Amino acid sequence: MSRQQLIEQAWEDRALLQQQEYIDAVKATVEELDKGTLRCAEPVADGWQVNEWVKKAVIMFFPLAEMETIKVGPFEFHDKIPLKSDYAEKGVRVVPHAIARYGSFVNKGVIMMPSYVNIGAYVDSGTMVDTWATVGSCAQIGKDVHLSGGVGVGGVLEPVQAAPVIIEDGAFVGSRCILVEGVHIGKEAVLGANVTLTASSKIIDVTGDEPVEYKGYVPPRSVVIPGSYTKKFPAGEFSVGCAIIIGQRKESTDRKTSLNDALRDNNVSV
């Protein structure tokens, strides 16, 4: 029986988690997440595929893990999930007090300022997780992404079929942005400070003659700022938050130059 089949059986009958074969299947799955050889969601030919069975294993890992006290100098923690280790071997720079939990993957060249990466998350090479940024459970962060100070990337374990937040390669997410509920940010997009996106948020492209509306998805290379639109309620008309696409990053092999141009040309604060 495959490991996936064992996970699916245990998900339907939690009493099976008393048997070593099923315990080993859950723990081996989380270990592969930690090594980056398995992902909660992954790119496929026609988009992204959510690996529901992997998320099930993460959820079942919690009741199997035991609470323990972790002491680091004068600091004390009490939790079920250990922290990642061996960062020098992994080629990851970790600034105190950055924390990544076991079961998350942080690839070579990542810089973690004081920040937090939760179990099941995947952070690819060259990405900056800046001060007080949080990467939630199962979130998928691409290569050379910049998560600015205070960015909140939401986690999603349940429902298991729900897509996690996905931020593709080369994207720049400005300070205090909030991205939750499976929002998908395309490659090399730029989000200005304080953009908040949920699955139901309107994302309006105003660069053409007529507005084009998206929900839960920012197209590649888009430059996005916070905005609002007027909505009617029984009590009257009120402004409701949205995001506005005001331009595109220029084609450039130098992402940093392209980013600076995008911010300058569109007067975007990050």
* CA dist 41 → 61, 62, 246 (Å): 18, 20, 30
Residue 96 in contact with residue 114, Cβ under 8 Å? Answer: yes
- Residues 73, 81, 138, 3: is their CA dihedral positive or negative? positive
State pTM to two decimals: 0.92
Separation CA 7–CA 58 (nearest Å)? 10
Going by C-beta distance under 8 Å and a sequence separation of 6 or more, which residues neighbour residue 58?
29, 30, 33, 40, 103, 119, 120, 137, 138, 157
DSSP 8-state symbol, 91: T
Residue listed under structure tokens 């070593």 = 20
Split at pLDDT 50, 70, 90, the class of 257 is low
pLDDT in tens, 81-128: 999 999 999 999 999 999 999 999 999 999 999 999 999 999 999 999
pLDDT in tens, 27-48: 999 999 999 999 999 999 989 9
